[in-house]
Amino acid sequence: MIPEHIAIIMDGNSRWAQRKMLPVKLGHRSGANAIKELIKSSLEFKIKYVTIYAFSTENWSRPKEEIGDLMIILQNYLENDVNDLIKYGIKIVTSGQISELDPKIQEKIENIKEKTKNNDNMVLNVAFNYGSRAEITNAVKNISQDIVDNKIDISDINENLISQNLYNPDIPDPDLIIRTGGYNRLSNFLLWQSSYSELYFTNILWPDFKKQNLQEAIEDFNQRKRNYGAR
């Protein structure tokens, strides 16, 4: 059984570079190549939704040079890979506070979203400048404003309403969350949506994550019994 939605915390780029005595930026570039391989593998497995944790709200505390390298990698991807995404039938959406990014990057993101909006082979959700607490806080603000504007009553608040005010309410909750790099935590990623997700942790650093590793995670997922609290 193939999960409908897989979300991935891509951890380990910096440590991968350090172990090879390479600059950190080369670790991030190798991580970007691993994303391309992930996309191809996901298409082969016919996974409908893939969410990648590309840059968190906490990542701004990293060295300025490293952040600059990450932004360059993002721009290069937006400029050079759009044709492949269209060819493979991949729709790009984003989660996160994209409005806080450089206006040129925002424009390129909107451009690639527009060009791929009708694709239906797979949805790639890029969580960039994303934090789950910020997402939930934003949802609370939106709901509160609707109450102030008399659009809804406080009694209308339920789990479904909160879900509908998250960044991408049309994407189903992840069936499987994979984290590479050896740490066993979610790090402020999809906290609301992961209530009943299966979690898979691996020591493999993200640049070394291949199709075989994705298959192993899916096979492990198939050994789980998902009863959603019923037993």
Question: Which residue out of 59, 121, 142, 165 is catalytically annotated?
Answer: 59
- 189 is written with which tokens? 């990623």
Q: Is 59 a catalytic residue?
A: yes
Q: Can you tell me which residue has the tokens 């999809």?
A: 190
Number of structural domains found in the chain: 1
Is the CB of residue 52 less than 8 Å from the CB of residue 38? yes
Domain of 206 in residue numbering reads as 5-131+172-221
Is the CB of residue 15 less than 8 Å from the CB of residue 184? no
pLDDT digit string, tens, across residues 28-87 = 999 999 999 999 999 999 999 999 999 999 999 999 999 998 898 888 888 888 888 889
CA dist., res. 22 & res. 16, Å (int): 8
pTM: 0.94
- Residue 69 lies inside a defined structural domain of this protein: yes
Q: Is 188 a catalytic residue?
A: no
- Residue 74 lies inside a defined structural domain of this protein: yes
- Residue 98 lies inside a defined structural domain of this protein: yes
Q: Can you tell me which residue has the tokens 């994209």?
A: 98
Mean pLDDT across 176-199: 97
- Residue 214 lies inside a defined structural domain of this protein: yes
- Residue 190 lies inside a defined structural domain of this protein: yes
- Residue 231 lies inside a defined structural domain of this protein: no
- Residue 68 lies inside a defined structural domain of this protein: yes
Is the CB of residue 93 less than 8 Å from the CB of residue 125? yes
- Write down the pLDDT at residue 121: 96
- Residue 137 lies inside a defined structural domain of this protein: no
Which CATH number goes with the domain that contains 41? 3.40.1180.10
Question: Which residue out of 11, 125, 175, 213 is catalytically annotated?
Answer: 11
CA dist., res. 39 & res. 50, Å (int): 8
CB within 8 Å of 46: residues ≥ 6 apart: 2
pLDDT digit string, tens, across residues 160-171 = 999 999 999 999
CA dist., res. 124 & res. 91, Å (int): 6
CB within 8 Å of 223: residues ≥ 6 apart: none
Q: Can you tell me which residue has the tokens 């066993």?
A: 184
- Write down the pLDDT at residue 82: 83
